Amino acid sequence: MAKAIDQTKDGLTIGHGGFGEHGQGVGSAAQMSHDEDPINTRAIGNIAVRFLGVDTPEVSFTLPGSKAFTGIGSSEWADFLKDPFAAQYGPLSLDAALVADLKSRLGPEAGAAHAAAARKAREALLALVQADQGATSNADFRFFLAFASEVTDRYGRLLAYINLDQPGVPKAQRLETYNERQLKAGMAFPYFIWPNVNPFRKQASLVASVPASADAPAVQHEAALKSARDAVRAARTGHRGIFSGPALVEPFELRYLAGRRAPDRWVIDLGSTGAKAKTLFPPQTYFRIPTEDRLWVPEEYVPLFVEKGWKRE
């Protein structure tokens, strides 16, 4: 089925909609609007939703020079992840220290290990959703989506914290989001990107979301973010889920290696103290920070942080 929100080959985000619902059916042109701006529509097609705060192993992805998605367990991916720096794949400029760190996790088995982790993570999420569904029919099952500062990504996917819709259930008794449950089970890598995590996503504006450097300790100890970090650390050090096998090439690493583009988000070390806690570290130094302690800052927002007293390394 076609996507309700999609991206063209030229990179333009587009959407498909029809007349909105009205009463017990589909409305008419006369019923689609009260004042002509805006109009009510219903989505035509599926809507892809990207989990916020998590990054799960890739099932398939595009290899260099190809637009086709190829399974990570394929021989092509095995060859690529054995040596993604080979000249045949095109140029990729990375710092020597980052290359050395990547090579410690690359090799002949890197593709198979990543594919196995992807299967494990997918099966775990499927089990969570099926358990929540119980005897509810497919047609009646409902998700609840909570959005952050950025509602869509560049691919037209919604960005959300996703859960079972639990109307009437007191907040304290609701199940945790699938995002949180995946992290606690060790079935996803954390991917905390400013401003789409607490405490930033609740601010009134983007500028208001930028913390002063003096507030770095408060950011580190914000309850929801710290809980997620602690859960990942426990899963990682306890070798649970996708952390039970050899150290993996992380999903975002696989994507930038295949895309032949260096990482460009700066990173804050949420586990540091003193001056380092108020420092923005260059994109290619992220590997020095434990995965659960990385707070990613898109490069276009770095000047806003500098204005609030943060220092670039």
Tens-place pLDDT, residues 197-229: 887 777 778 888 899 999 999 999 999 999 999
Cis ω before 195 (30° cut-off from 0): yes
- pTM of the shown model: 0.91
In a domain, 13, yes or no: no
The predicted structure's pLDDT at residue 162: 97
In a domain, 282, yes or no: yes
170 confidence band (pLDDT: 50, 70, 90)? very high
From residue 175, how far is each of 59, 117, 129, 140, 266 by CA, in Å?
27, 25, 12, 19, 33
36 confidence band (pLDDT: 50, 70, 90)? low
What proportion of the chain, given as a percentage, has pLDDT over 70?
98
Length in residues, the chain = 313
Provide the residue range defining the domain that includes 133.
49-312
In tens, the pLDDT along 109-168 reads 999 999 999 999 999 999 999 999 999 999 999 999 999 888 988 788 899 999 999 999
Cα–Cα distance for residue pair 4/16, rounded to 1 Å: 5
The predicted structure's pLDDT at residue 87: 97
In a domain, 233, yes or no: yes
Instruction: Find the helix or strand (DSSP H, E) in which 50 lies.
Output: strand 49-51
Cα–Cα distance for residue pair 199/185, rounded to 1 Å: 23
The predicted structure's pLDDT at residue 199: 74
In a domain, 140, yes or no: yes
The structure tokens listed for 65 are 């020079």
User: What's the CA angle centered on 73, arms 68 and 77, to 5 degrees?
Assistant: 60
The predicted structure's pLDDT at residue 184: 98
SS3 20: coil
DSSP 188-242: SEEEEETTSSTTTTTSSSHHHHSPPGGGHHHHHT-HHHHHHHHHHHHHHHTT-GG
Cα–Cα distance for residue pair 284/263, rounded to 1 Å: 6
The predicted structure's pLDDT at residue 292: 98
Domains contained in the chain, number: 1
The predicted structure's pLDDT at residue 303: 97
The predicted structure's pLDDT at residue 94: 98
Instruction: Find the helix or strand (DSSP H, E) in which 179 lies.
Output: helix 178-184
In a domain, 30, yes or no: no
The predicted structure's pLDDT at residue 42: 87
The predicted structure's pLDDT at residue 208: 85
Contact by Cβ (8 Å): 197, 302: no
* 184/27: higher pLDDT: 184
In a domain, 304, yes or no: yes
User: What's the CA angle centered on 262, arms 116 and 297, to 5 degrees?
Assistant: 90
For 232, residues 6+ apart whose C-beta sits below 8 A from its C-beta are 183, 186, 189, 190, 291, 292
User: What's the CA angle centered on 193, arms 161 and 253, to 5 degrees?
Assistant: 105
In a domain, 35, yes or no: no
Per-residue HEC secondary structure of 53-86 comes to EEECCCCEEECCCCCCEEECCCHHHHHHHHCCCC
Cα–Cα distance for residue pair 52/293, rounded to 1 Å: 16
Indicate whether 231 pLDDT > 90. Answer: yes
* 6/297: higher pLDDT: 297
In tens, the pLDDT along 252-279 reads 999 999 999 999 999 999 999 999 999 9
Residue type, 181: R
In a domain, 290, yes or no: yes
291 confidence band (pLDDT: 50, 70, 90)? very high
Cis ω before 91 (30° cut-off from 0): no
